[in-house]
DNA sequence: GATGCCGGGGT
DNA sequence: ACCCCGGCATC
């Protein structure tokens, strides 16, 4: 870490490093701010100014000027401008320590100079911290080297510029945001004392940031040096915040390190996201099922809709945090579930993602009940997935251990689809209920009671009077199957019932059940 | 011989 | 997974 610090410093001192850093911060800070609050008074560019100005005073300005004088034309102008703006803004904004703290560069220096305190303050109470930092700086007599001073304003946490004087609320919101961001990024930057960084960045931002930073070239090795253990993704936990603080204090370089870490894992993060896990934020307010993709969004929602706060103001006492929760949505499942659902419900035109109202059938109601709890998307998905199993292909049911029959409403029986044999069997019931929506037979395998074939008996096919009996037998058979099979060599006794072959004859082979056609155990006329 | 269907192979 | 068929057991 020491070496790192040194390195960083030098890089900053050398104009090159400084410039690079500067740029990098820019993107970074912007992103952070964006993540934290949308309604900041000042759009991105302003942040830039502040960033550059990062916790500096007139002295800093001087330093920078000289710094600029070292001959970086592009950066110089900017810097100077920024300086001015920064100064002015400082006056205007006063206690918006955030801005000042937006130190572009190293916080390592900061750490050393201001052992921990500044950083921790920074995180917990940015506003105050900023003030403290300022005062501190004043006390220090601006003697702090630039490299060290810049960091002072912790850039760890993105603090909204128009932060409310009551830094407390902000701090909580921020913490929430941070944590949220944390959980958003699956990669859980372990060592990162500032996991917020990567997490809160959008891919785009990350890219831009990484580009600018990559030029400095000393990011990567930092990452490998990560030895600071940290709890992986402890979302929504104050502890996380603490740990966060802790690590920040422990090593100011962590910030940069974490950043580098981020770059190192720049790939994995987006990749993981692609991996279909998306974090959503669900409003927990009673009767409010609102789900938003961003924490800020949900916070705003809660703030404005439920807490009756002014939507324009970003004031937040952190109360919103209690009214929303994070949920993870597996997009893959969603997609799969939906895609698989659609095709498997031939009898229902555009089946809704929700199960249709039951026919008063027990099985149905059960399912509905389950679905009723589908407040979470994941649940929905997980529920919908099995539903595909509900699509019963009687013809192939024999291949499964589950019996062909399932408890269905009488009116449903024989009407639904499932029989691949008879054409046009896929008409739904009068209620528009599709067999496809019935629960998987497996679930009801052992359920006795009125059972009927779901499969529609094709035209001309005589229904076995004892259908239900068949089904029951079939079930038993399914249960007994292991035994039967346990005796190798023993063949299942031939069923007594006439099979498709006999019933229809060879000439009507088309009417056979598939099993029969495949020379499998007749599935239509079970014993 | 006809039938039922297991086991296995092809796509 | 779907489809087909050889071959065996049973009737």
Q: Is the CB of A492 under 7 A from strand B?
A: yes
- What percentage of chain A reaches a pLDDT higher than 90? 0
- Point out the nucleotide closest to A514 (alpha carbon to C1′): C3
Of A residues 418-457, those with CB within 7 angstroms of nucleic strand C are: 420
Residues in chain A: 527
Query: Is the confidence at residue A515, as pLDDT, over 80?
Result: yes
Strand B, nucleotides covered by protein (CB < 7 Å): 3-8
Q: Point out the nucleotide closest to A520 (alpha carbon to C1′).
A: B5
**pLDDT value, residue A82:** 33
Question: Where are the domains positioned within chain A?
Answer: 2-162+193-224+239-263, 276-336, 342-488
Confidence class of residue A58 from pLDDT cuts 50, 70 and 90?
very low
By C-alpha to C1' distance, B2 is nearest to A502
Residue with nearest Cα to nucleotide C2 C1': A396
pLDDT at residue A102, rounded to an integer: 33
The nucleotide closest to A493 (CA, C1' atoms): C10
pLDDT score at A281: 82
Nucleotides of C under 7 A from a protein CB: 1-7, 9-11
Q: Which nucleotide is nearest to A502 (CA to C1')?
A: B3
**Nearest of A37, A146, A145 to residue A98 by alpha carbon:** A37
Would you state the structure tokens that stand for residue A226, as one six-digit string? Answer: 């990560």
| Helix (H), strand (E) counts: chain A | 25, 3
Tokens of A16: 């090159």
Instruction: Give CA–CA dist A292/A326, Å, rounded.
Output: 10
Q: Does residue A522 lie within 7 Å of nucleic acid chain B, judged by its CB?
A: yes
Look at A502 and A337; give whichever has higher pLDDT: A502
The answer on pLDDT for A285 being more than 50 is: yes
Q: What is the pLDDT of residues A459-493, one digit of tens each?
A: 333 333 333 333 333 333 333 333 333 344 456 66
pLDDT in the model for residue A304: 83
Tell me the mean pLDDT in the region A204-229.
35
Q: Give A500 CA → B2 C1' in Å.
A: 13
Q: Chain centroid to CA A139: how far?
A: 45
Q: pLDDT category, A527, cuts 50, 70, 90?
A: low
User: In angstroms, how far is B9 C1' from A454 CA?
Assistant: 31
Residue A326, strand partner residues: A281
Judge whether residue A494 contacts strand C, using its CB and a 7 Å cut-off: yes
What's the CA A519/C1' C7 distance, rounded, in angstroms?
A: 12
Give the pLDDT band of residue A18 (cuts 50, 70, 90).
very low
Q: Which residue is nearest to nucleotide C10 (CA to C1')?
A: A494
- Which nucleotide is nearest, taking the CA of residue A515 and each C1'? B5
Range from A153-162, A270-279, A301-310, A504-513 carrying the lowest mean pLDDT: A153-162
| CA distance linking residue A515 with residue A524, whole number of Å | 8
Residue nearest to nucleotide C1 (CA to C1'): A396
pLDDT range class, residue A279, cuts 50, 70, 90: confident
d(CA A223, CA A1): 11
Q: How far is the CA of A112 from the C1' of C8 (A)?
A: 86
Q: Is residue A157 helix, strand or coil?
A: coil
Residue A430 pLDDT > 80: no
Contacts 24+ apart (CB under 8 A), A361-365: A361/A407, A361/A408, A361/A409, A361/A412, A362/A407, A363/A406, A363/A407, A363/A408, A363/A438, A363/A439, A363/A443, A363/A444, A363/A447, A364/A409, A364/A438, A364/A439
Instruction: Tell if A393 CB is < 7 Å from nucleic strand C.
Output: yes
Query: Which pLDDT belongs to residue A51?
Result: 34
A494 touches strand B (CB under 7 A): yes
Protein-to-nucleotide distance from the CA of A471 to the C1' of B1, whole angstroms: 31
Pairing of strands A291-292, A324-330: unpaired
Q: pLDDT tens for residues A150-161?
A: 333 333 433 334
């Amino acid at each position: 870490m020491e070496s790192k610090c040194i390195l960083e410093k030098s890089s900053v001192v050398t104009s090159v490093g400084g410039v690079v850093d500067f740029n990098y911060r820019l993107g970074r800070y912007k992103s952070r701010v964006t993540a934290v609050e949308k309604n900041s008074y000042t759009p991105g560019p302003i942040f830039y100014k502040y960033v550059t100005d990062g916790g500096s005073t007139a002295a800093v300005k001087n330093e920078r000027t000289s710094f600029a004088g070292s001959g970086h034309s592009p950066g110089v102008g900017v810097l100077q401008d920024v300086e001015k703006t920064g100064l002015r803004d400082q006056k205007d904004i006063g206690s918006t320590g955030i801005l000042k703290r937006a130190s572009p560069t190293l916080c390592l220096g900061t750490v050393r100079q201001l052992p921990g305190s500044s950083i921790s303050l920074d995180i917990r109470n940015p506003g105050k911290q900023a003030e403290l930092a300022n005062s501190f700086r004043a006390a220090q007599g601006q003697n702090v080297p630039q490299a060290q001073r810049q960091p002072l304003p912790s850039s760890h946490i993105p603090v909204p510029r128009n932060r409310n004087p009551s830094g407390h609320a902000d701090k909580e919101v921020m913490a929430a945001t941070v944590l949220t961001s944390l959980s958003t990024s699956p990669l859980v930057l372990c060592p990162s004392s500032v996991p917020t960084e990567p997490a809160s960045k959008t891919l785009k931002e990350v890219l831009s940031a990484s580009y600018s930073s990559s030029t400095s070239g000393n990011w990567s090795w930092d990452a490998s040096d990560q030895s600071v253990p940290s709890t992986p993704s402890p979302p929504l936990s104050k502890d996380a915040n603490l740990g966060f603080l802790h690590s920040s204090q422990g090593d100011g370089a962590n910030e940069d390190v974490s950043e580098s870490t981020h770059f190192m894992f720049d790939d994995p993060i987006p990749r993981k996201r692609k991996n279909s896990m998306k974090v959503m934020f669900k409003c927990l307010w009673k009767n409010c099922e609102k789900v938003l993709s961003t924490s800020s969004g949900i916070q705003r929602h809660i703030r404005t809709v439920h807490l009756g706060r002014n939507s324009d103001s970003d004031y937040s006492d952190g109360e919103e945090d209690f009214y929303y929760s994070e949920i993870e949505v597996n997009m893959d499942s969603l997609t799969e579930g939906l895609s698989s659902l659609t095709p498997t419900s031939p009898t229902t035109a555009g089946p809704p993602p929700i199960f249709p109202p039951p026919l008063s059938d027990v099985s149905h109601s059960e399912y509905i009940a389950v679905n009723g709890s589908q407040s979470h998307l994941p649940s929905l998905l997980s529920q919908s997935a099995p539903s595909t199993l509900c699509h019963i292909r009687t013809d192939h049911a024999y291949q499964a251990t589950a019996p062909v029959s399932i408890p269905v409403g009488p009116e449903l029986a024989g009407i639904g689809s499932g029989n691949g044999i008879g054409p046009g069997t896929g008409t739904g019931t009068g209620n528009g209920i599709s067999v496809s929506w019935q629960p998987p037979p497996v679930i009801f395998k052992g359920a006795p009671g009125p059972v009927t074939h779901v499969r529609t008996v094709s035209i001309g096919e005589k229904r076995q009077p004892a259908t239900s009996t068949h089904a029951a037998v079939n079930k038993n058979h399914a249960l007994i199957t292991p035994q039967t099979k346990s005796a190798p060599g023993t063949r299942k006794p031939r069923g007594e019932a006439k099979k498709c072959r006999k019933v229809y004859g060879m000439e009507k082979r088309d009417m056979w059940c598939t099993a029969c056609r495949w020379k499998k155990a007749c599935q239509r006329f079970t014993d």
